[in-house]
Amino acid sequence: MALEALIFDVDGTLADTERDGHRVAFNAAFHEFGLDWNWDVELYGKLLAVTGGKERMNYFVDQFHTQYEKSADFDDMVIALHKAKTRHYTELLAQGGIPMRPGVVRLLNDAKKAGLRLAIATTTTPENVTALLKNSLAADSENWFEVIAAGDIIPVKKPAPDIYVWALEKMKLDASKCLAFEDSENGIKSSMGSGLKTVITINDYTTTHDFTGAIAVLSDLGEPEQPFNVLAGDVQGKSYVDLDLLEHWHSLPV
Ligand code: XBP
Ligand code: MG
């Protein structure tokens, strides 16, 4: 059965947005609201256990800042904080500070030329996806993706499979015809939970994650001049991910 579509996670997969993007934007929002909360690089790694910005703020207060006394309007404050955080994040991306990871632009262009269908499945807010694609990929690149499944369109975020299931349903596509690209344990639980074969490119926050079941675990997608490191999987002697390698992975028995 031919490979028909590629579905990409965003944060950590298309670009390293967490440490120098989302984290910085959360802290800017806390500052704006007069809160003395500060998420340093290490703490943020722990907070990534929970996906979704609003969910992550609740997790922080409940697990790491238990002396904080929630006001009656705490939930509303979280919503307002998250709006501010999205504004800070999209402004930061507009400055063009966060590039796509190695191999991403090349592979997306090749896939598009070859007629593969492209989609996105992410827990982040839709505006954030738009800002990243526009500023770090190409001005019109939102149109490269047939479906952008993002944020609160489904109530239960990764590791639940719902966001991938939603994208597949929208595309009227069976999981067996696609490959997913992820960077985290929550991500692969979600993609594999919806039946998708999944390729992992790790990052500093996800090196110790459990990627059991991944078709391959790589440092990144690689470039002809910048080979990837292989942590697991058969890469057919290649040093970067190209369409032939994707076809090979797709043809492997489950
Ligand atoms: C991404 C996330 C998101 C972002 C913040 O996970 O966990 O919560 O950090 O996004 P994944 P929002 O890569 O697995 O989709 O603040 O917009 O929710
Ligand atoms: Mg991710």
The residue type found at 11 is D
* Residues 7/198, Cβ–Cβ less than 8 Å: no
Q: Which residue has the tokens 């907070």?
A: 47
Determine the residue of 24, 27, 51 to mutate for testing ligand 1's pocket, defined as the one with the most ligand atoms within 8 A of the Cβ atom.
Answer: 51
CA 111 to ligand 1 centroid distance, Å: 25
195-230 pLDDT, tens digit per residue, is 999 999 999 999 999 999 999 999 999 999 999 999
User: How far away, in angstroms, is 72 Cα from ligand 2 center?
Assistant: 33
Domains and CATH numbers, the chain: 5-15+100-251 (3.40.50.1000), 18-94 (1.10.150.240)
* pTM confidence score: 0.96
Residue nearest to atom 4 of ligand 1 (CA): 124
- Within 6 A (CB) of ligand 1 lie 9-12, 18, 22, 51-53, 56, 85, 122-125, 128, 158, 184, 186-187
Q: Which of 9, 16, 162, 242 is catalytic?
A: 9
Please give the number of the atom of ligand 1 that sits closest to the Cα of 50: 7
Asked whether the predicted pLDDT for residue 1 surpasses 80, the reply is: no
**Structure tokens of 73?**
């309007």
Ligand 1: residue whose CA is nearest its atom 16: 53
Distance CA 244, CA 241 (A): 8
Buried b (16+ CB within 10 A) or exposed e, 137-156: beeebbebbebbbbbeebee
pLDDT at 97: 80
Tell me: the pLDDT tens digits for 133-148? 999 999 999 999 999 9
Q: What is the pLDDT of residue 96?
A: 83
Distance from the alpha carbon of residue 15 to the mean position of ligand 1, in angstroms: 12
**Cα R_g (the chain), whole angstroms:** 18
For residue 9, indicate whether it is catalytic: yes
Q: What is the pLDDT of residue 237?
A: 97
Distance (Å) from CA 155 to ligand 2 centroid:
18
Note whether 185 and 203 are within 8 A (CB): no
